[in-house]
Amino acid sequence: MNDTQAVLITNDEDIEQAARSLKAMSHPLRLKILCALGNHEVSVQEIVDQVGTSQSNISQHLGILRDKGILMSRKDANRVYYRVGDKRTLRLIDMMREVFCSRH
């Protein structure tokens, strides 16, 4: 195989998983949430502060990311904390930063 030939995903299950993840991440606000989380565990209020929209809007998008298996959550008293549950997602975000961002 030469350097210009891409390695393709051939397993249908892998394709489905990749498509679900990319679809969930494709909304700009959800991608911004994932970038705000990085590899840290962050409370909903901290996410609201970093992303800059309403808590109800953030909670709706966090729910989508959690339902798709991208985020994990835990509750501590009256606070909910989120973290990226799959390290492959962090790798993908890093790759997107390298490709799409002028500074990284």
**Of residues 66 and 18, which shows the higher confidence score?**
66
Q: Give the domain CATH number at 32.
A: 1.10.10.10
- Asked if residue 5 belongs to a domain, the reply is no
- Mean pLDDT along residues 1-14: 70
- Asked if residue 6 belongs to a domain, the reply is no
- Tokens representing residue 23 in the block: 């679809």
Q: How many domains does the chain have?
A: 1
- Asked if residue 3 belongs to a domain, the reply is no
Q: What is the pLDDT of residues 85-98, one digit of tens each?
A: 888 888 888 888 88
Q: Helix axis angle, 44-51 relative to 55-67, nearest 10°?
A: 110
- Asked if residue 4 belongs to a domain, the reply is no
Mean pLDDT, rounded, of the chain: 87
- Asked if residue 1 belongs to a domain, the reply is no
Helix (H) or strand (E) holding 72: strand 71-76
- Asked if residue 47 belongs to a domain, the reply is yes
Share of the chain above pLDDT 70, in %: 92
Which residue range(s) make up the domain with 94? Answer: 12-100
